[in-house]
Chain A
Amino acid sequence: MSELSETLASAALGIYFLAALFYGAMWLGNFRVLRFSAPVALSLGLVLNVVQMILRWLQHDQPPFKTLYESLVLLAACIALVYLIIELVYRARVLGLAAALGSAGALFYGVFGQDTEAVNLPPALQSGWFIPHVVVYFFGYAALFVAFAAAVLYLVRPKPIRIRRGDLIPGEQVAPDRLFDGAVRFGFVLLTFGLLVGGVWAKAAWGDYWVWDPKETWSLITWLLFALYLHLHYLRTWRGRQLAWLVVLGFMAVMFTYLGMQLLPSAEKSLHVYQ
């Protein structure tokens, strides 16, 4: 079962790259076949990704969210799913390339850069809060990745992108700033939930809902940066480019919170650092 699980992860990775090719080709020309094959490929990659996680769960009899490898697999699935929802809601595929590359990149880093060995869950993680806390947070990270991609797109191409017939939904204009704004609002709610649930769980496990642990503090910093984004909307002088840069900064904080904790001097005492 272990080999099947790793094979599925590699297969999902390959299909994500294929989806990225299809979405990328949409920027080059009006290829009718891509209209369906791109989202289908991404969906197929997502299905394989999710099946891999289920298999790993069954194999090791614990939710597959403990190691860095497992979290990268989860992140890849969340990015794909969040993007597909955005594609449905906003009826635009301008972020498809970024999302497919994001999923592929996360999975690539996991499969080729990380130890895929499962790790036993320590007592503190054997809690009903484990799954909602981690899953909601990673959906939040995925939404903010999409926001980041839209913000970068906006910085490169601030004007609304006119949709050409055939490749995206015809007759519409897509404003990247509207996209990143929507993704931030969606992701911020999830970050808030993850942060608060983390506090409740910490209280049940360790007797303290907040101990200024580096990971907790950087989760708060990330939350504050996006709260800042939401407040700055009310200022006349903060529009467009400034907000886009703030989203980029916020996403960098997300990535540091996720992957950068071992760089901090107090990391070795943290209960959140991946071993």
Chain B
Amino acid sequence: MKEENKLGFGFKLLAAAALAGLVVQHVFFSPSATAPAQVLAGLVGFLAVMGAGLSARWRAYFGSVLFAVPAMIYVTVFSIIGTLVLQREPAEVFQEKYGRLAGLLEALFFDDIFHSLAFCLILGLTAGSMGLVIVRKRPPGLRVLGSQLAHLGLLLVLAGAGMGQVWGIKGRLDLRVGQQADNIRVQTGRGGGFLPLGFSVRLDDFKIEHYRPDFRLFVYRLSGEKQKKLFSCKPAKDCPELEKLGLSQVGYFPDYAQRVEIEPAQDGQGQGAVQLELSGGEKFWLVEEKFDERVPGLLFLPSRQKAEEYLKATGGEGGPHFLEIAGRRLAVKEAERLELGQGMVVQIKRAFRDFVLDPESKEPAERSEQPNNPALELLVFDSAGKSLGRQFLFARHPEFHGSMKELGEIRYLYLPEAAKARALIVGEERKLWLLEGGDKRESVLAPGEEFTWAGGRARWLDSFARVRERMVEYTRSQEENQPLFRLRLPSGQTADLTPGKPLRLDGEKFAVLAPRGGDTVKDYFSKLSVLEEGRAVKTEVVEVNSPLYHRGFYIYQANYRPDEPDYSGFEVVRDPGLWVVYLGFGLNFAGVVCVLWLARMKKRKESENV
């Protein structure tokens, strides 16, 4: 038979095999073939070719290039189809994407082509061909050895993959810090279930490491739905491109903050305050009815009446929950409502000592009595009283403001030490009231003299005065934790750029302050303990590229959730065919090097010697 005829025969044979696989899958395994069925199809193909190879004539054919070429073309075509058609998507997604064509594609099993019986049968026939290449008798030599190794390697890869498909396990494990589990959620075909591990895994700790932020001002042009970067520049450095757009830099705060500065009010307006000095020499104003962390437990009230009203209302207590809003710290309680400005109102719905999201109900709950993860649940309303939803603030994770940008810069502080007012300065009487166990001891407060209370010691410097609070902008440090970039626009107005809030410059251009390099997450780590019979037998840190291995299972760090700082997700895999696959990789590569490099080098040397 001519070469072309033999090639044509191979194409027809493989087409028949693909059709057979399609029919069998429709009859017995629709809509998807199980893993054992896939492997069986491959095995049938392999054994069919090996069996045919018992005849010398068929062995010569199936073990030759004349069959290998159509087989490789079929595998290539199936692979191309598998990239052009969405794979393993839910039916509604598939229907939406392909419309009327969806039915045909599903009937041909193109929506999961790599797990179709047709593809597995083709692979099996190809594997059979490779098997015959290996056993075919040929004169020994480097090229023949290499060819056998390369084909044997591929055969082992397919065999190992088949073993993994039939006997392997793959599942998901979702844990929160402190939680343990002894089973994994597995996905089988289009279904799922739970599988016991035979041991327990506990998440002891989870950390995310961030790249040091390096913020840049990026200017983009919008063109339809696409955006093209025009330029970027480092804030506070020369940027001629900005000037060409009529913009100028006013200032850059790498770690923007506002603080309230207090200064005496010249016009007699303002709030009452007392000027104090600490032992380190720091002077400051203690404003009426406001705690200051520099003098914990000390409160100033202008009059005896106000002092007694305060004691009656609070029992001498304040905190431990505080909200810091635009530099002002306010003690808050459950059920309390606060006006934030521009008519926005927040209500403190609930305070948590140890916040956790219940894995079953997904509702917030208390994990323990210990203040391990203090949190506040806020209800937010707009100026019309319409609810904008709820927001959680975490004392230990101030960076997680969630998605409610209307709240602005708001921070939750849990300060149990501020829970009680330990002493009151009563302004008009110039007296210090020391509060201990429900009792009150009064003493005269002499100017310039040091006084002590349970929270510390200080010196009263000045008389009681009226002060005004002034918001002052400053940068806490040179670390770019909360950057703010102030620009002057062509109109003369200034605009503040903060990360994630783009500024439209003109029609198509906009500017955004963002960290160079995209995602700032550098790495994330989980500290896992493996428990057998309640006892920890192994504790390791798991990260991407570094799984934990125990009793045949590999536990891979898979994902995390930015809004849930104590959550960590894992893939758990057991693959008995893995080492067969790796052996196959090695043999295949060795064979390819032998045939293509070593044999050729040897041949060239021999021809040079001749």
A210 CB–B CB distance under 8 Å? yes
Chain A min CB distance to B154 (Å): 10
B87 CB–A CB distance under 8 Å? yes
CB neighbours of B600 from chain A (8 A) = 185
A167 to B588 alpha-carbon distance, docked (Å) = 42
Q: How many positions in chain B have a CB within 8 Å of any CB in the partner chain?
A: 59
Per-position 1/0 for B279-323, Cβ under 8 A of A: 000000000000000000000000000000000000000000000
Chain A min CB distance to B553 (Å): 10
Given A123-B521, A189-B597, A232-B69, also A117-B229 (CB < 8 A) = yes
B582 CB–A CB distance under 8 Å? yes
B84 touches A205 (CB 8 A): no
Given A207-B554, A207-B556, also A266-B83 (CB < 8 A) = yes
Given A119-B518, A192-B589, also A235-B3 (CB < 8 A) = yes
Segment with Cβ contacts to A, from B73-81, B400-408, B486-494: B73-81
B144 CB–A CB distance under 8 Å? no
A-contacting residues, B146-160, CB 8 Å:
none
B593 CB–A CB distance under 8 Å? yes
B-contacting residues, A214-236, CB 8 Å:
214, 217-218, 220-221, 224-225, 227-228, 230-232, 234-236
Given A192-B589, A265-B86, also A206-B581 (CB < 8 A) = no
Contact residues on A (Cβ < 8 Å of other chain), bracket: 35 or more
A225 to B76 alpha-carbon distance, docked (Å) = 8
B211 CB–A CB distance under 8 Å? yes
Segment with Cβ contacts to A, from B20-28, B242-250, B422-430, B540-548: B540-548
For B557, the closest partner residue in chain A by CB is: A123
A207 to B548 alpha-carbon distance, docked (Å) = 11
CB neighbours of A225 from chain B (8 A) = 76
B571 touches A207 (CB 8 A): yes
Given A124-B544, A221-B76, A266-B86, also A189-B596 (CB < 8 A) = yes
B-contacting residues, A226-265, CB 8 Å:
227-228, 230-232, 234-237, 264-265
B3 touches A207 (CB 8 A): no
B72 touches A224 (CB 8 A): yes
CB neighbours of B378 from chain A (8 A) = none
A207 touches B543 (CB 8 A): no
A207 touches B86 (CB 8 A): no
For B234, the closest partner residue in chain A by CB is: A2
A230 to B69 alpha-carbon distance, docked (Å) = 10
Work out how many contacts link A and B, with CB atoms closer than 8 A: 130
A-contacting residues, B1-50, CB 8 Å:
3-4
B87 touches A266 (CB 8 A): yes
A179 to B596 alpha-carbon distance, docked (Å) = 14
A228 touches B229 (CB 8 A): no
Segment with Cβ contacts to B, from A78-86, A93-101, A152-160, A196-204: A196-204
B518 touches A120 (CB 8 A): yes
B517 touches A118 (CB 8 A): yes
A122 touches B521 (CB 8 A): yes
A192 touches B544 (CB 8 A): no
Given A210-B161, A217-B79, also A264-B84 (CB < 8 A) = yes
CB neighbours of B75 from chain A (8 A) = 224
CB neighbours of B545 from chain A (8 A) = 123-124, 126-127, 201, 204-205
CB neighbours of A200 from chain B (8 A) = 582, 585
Cβ-defined partner of B573 (8 Å) among A60, A208, A236: A208
A52 to B545 alpha-carbon distance, docked (Å) = 29
B519 CB–A CB distance under 8 Å? yes
B114 CB–A CB distance under 8 Å? yes
Chain B min CB distance to A227 (Å): 6
For A214, the closest partner residue in chain B by CB is: B83
For B517, the closest partner residue in chain A by CB is: A120
A124 to B582 alpha-carbon distance, docked (Å) = 21
Chain A min CB distance to B85 (Å): 8
Given A123-B522, A188-B596, also A203-B76 (CB < 8 A) = no
Given A126-B544, A192-B592, A207-B571, also A265-B84 (CB < 8 A) = yes
Cβ-defined partner of A207 (8 Å) among B65, B114, B170, B581: B170
A118 touches B516 (CB 8 A): yes
B-contacting residues, A104-146, CB 8 Å:
115, 117-120, 122-124, 126-127
A186 to B69 alpha-carbon distance, docked (Å) = 21
CB neighbours of B585 from chain A (8 A) = 196, 199-200
B324 CB–A CB distance under 8 Å? no
For B591, the closest partner residue in chain A by CB is: A192
Given A123-B523, A200-B585, also A237-B592 (CB < 8 A) = no
B65 touches A231 (CB 8 A): yes
A-contacting residues, B255-296, CB 8 Å:
none
A119 touches B593 (CB 8 A): no
**7 A-B pairs whose Cβ atoms sit less than 8 Å apart in the complex:** A117-B229, A185-B596, A188-B596, A192-B588, A204-B545, A264-B83, A265-B97
Minimum-distance CB pairs A-B, first 9: A120-B517, A123-B544, A207-B573, A207-B556, A185-B596, A207-B571, A196-B585, A127-B545, A234-B65
Taking beta carbons and an 8 Å cutoff, which residues of A are in contact with B?
60, 115, 117-120, 122-124, 126-127, 185-186, 188-189, 192-193, 196, 199-201, 203-210, 212, 214, 217-218, 220-221, 224-225, 227-228, 230-232, 234-237, 264-266, 275
Q: A189-B597, A192-B589, A235-B66 are in contact. List 5 more A-B contacts (CB 8 A).
A: A118-B517, A119-B517, A126-B522, A185-B597, A217-B83
